[in-house]
Structure 1
């Protein structure tokens, strides 16, 4: 009950914050926000409190690989967004996500190999990510945009919680990264602003996934020895430090590309 209540509170807050950030600072900033463990992190905390440190540690390993599945969804949607309707893009992305999740669930690796494999795959997917044009489409978002995002995100998350309730720790971790926010923001951005804006959004998601996996690496590594409370504070600090470094170098890289 606590987890459901947490989701009912966090989902509208995160959806509203990411929507506002996208309108004010650009779609890539929305992507940078929804790629962070702002939803999965607090939920992992309640899972740890309910099921113990061992369950939380095992789930965190699955979540790290789940980040790669989310990145695969992002690149598939982005690659198809120039030519296909948003519904076909979303469905294709889901198929790619679930296929990757099924594949990853067949393997059982130690934490560090999972982490380094995930980072390498994220780097590879980022290098393959479709190019986009720097263009700003100024429109007044319709009044239904934000309420629709909030309602859909909440329904998706509650449904996934119900479905995954009886799954094991590894598969639960993998599915906890199901592209709920990624789908809703990609679809609405694609529909309202076009494919370039959608690609910028999803690229921001992949960039934030590096910090995402750092969070769960720290969580899986130390929760059984340092305890729940301290480990979550440590993981949060590591996540935001790594995010700051990544965003700094990303901006330098983008500025350098403009000068060429």
Structure 2
């Protein structure tokens, strides 16, 4: 019961904080924060505590396939919105995510997922940097229901994924862990409110943050048996944040 209340408390608070940071400091920072292993870290933590360490470790290959699929979805959306409306592109991108995630987690290989993820990170950083950048972004009107809707959606996905984990199995549970339930609403809202420049900044931040997510899962796979659940997740999260900050700093002038 304690874990249930932790899920209800932590997830919406994180979504609220990231949404406010994105409003205050812009899409790139929002993308960086949303791209870090926040939702996926919570999912893996609760899977480990509720289903056991072996279950969580068996979910890592699926999570890496899901991460590559998430990045493929961003690329799809970035290019699809050049000719399609936002709603149509977002709907097709979600379908595309399901197809790619299924292929990578059921027919792919761990190293294939890692290679695809790294290739897509490079592609997204380059492609987002080539999007037009207006001199100023228009001041937008934020609706009162935006952040509560994001908080509810993020919490619902975490609750559903962890509650159904035993039935879904480790592979599918892992595949669902990286679903960008925080990043997707942020990206679409940024696109609607700030145009392609706002959306591209969010995509770029998510791509940079994905490097940390990749490191997070690899550290879980290599250290959880030796160190235990909580120490490994804390260390992996710290490493993910450090990598994201360093890479963002290196790419800041580009």
Shorter chain as normaliser: what TM range?
Answer: 0.7 to 0.9
- Assess if the C-alpha contact under 8 Å between 1:53 and 1:228 holds in 2: yes
Q: CA RMSD in A?
A: 2.4
In the alignment, structure 2 segments of 5+ residues that lack a partner are none
Q: Which string of whole-angstrom CA distances, capped at 9 and with x for unpartnered residues, describes residues 71-98 of structure 1?
A: 1111212222344322212111111111
Map of 1:77 onto structure 2: 77
- Please state how far the C-alpha of 1:24 moved relative to its aligned partner: 1.4
Contact 1:3 1:43 in 2 (8 A): no
Q: Is the 8 A contact 2:68 2:114 kept in 1?
A: no
Give 1:96's aligned residue: 96
The CA distance in 2 between the partners of 1:118 and 1:107, in whole Å, is 16
Q: Distance in 2 between matches of 1:14 and 1:183?
A: 15
Q: Give yes or no for contact 2:51–2:166 (8 Å, CA) kept in 1.
A: no
Match of 1:131 in 2: 130
CA-CA distance at 1:116 after TM superposition: 4.7
Deviation string, structure 1 residues 216-236 (Cα, Å, up to 9, x no partner): 110111111222232122212
Counterpart contact for 2:43–2:177, Cα < 8 Å: no
Q: Give the direction of change, closer, same or farther, for the CA distance of 1:144–1:229 in structure 2 (3 Å limit).
A: closer
2:5 is the counterpart of 1:5: yes
Instruction: Describe the shift of the 1:38–1:138 C-alpha distance in structure 2 as closer, same or farther (beyond 3 A).
Output: same
| Offset from partner CA, 1:116-167 (integer Å, 9 cap, x none) | 5532343244434473222312123222322232233334444555565511
Match of 1:120 in 2: 119
Question: Aligned pair count?
Answer: 252
Q: So what's the TM-score if we normalise by structure 2?
A: 0.87
CA contact (8 A) 1:45 1:232 kept: yes
Distance, in Å, in 1 between the alignment partners of 2:131 and 2:199 is 9
Partner of 1:247: 248
Cα distance change, pair 59–156 in 1 and its aligned pair in 2 (3 A): closer
Query: Does 1:233 find its partner at 2:250?
Result: no
Which shows bigger deviation, 40-49 or 202-211? 40-49
- When residues 94 and 158 of structure 1 are mapped into structure 2, their CA distance, relative to the original with a 3 A threshold, is same
1:9-48 matches, cutoff 5 A:
9-48=9-48
* Counterpart contact for 1:22–1:29, Cα < 8 Å: yes
Counterpart Cα distance in 2 of 1:115 and 1:212: 11
Q: 1:193 to 1:90 in 2, by over 3 A?
A: same
Runs of 5+ unmatched residues, structure 1:
254-260
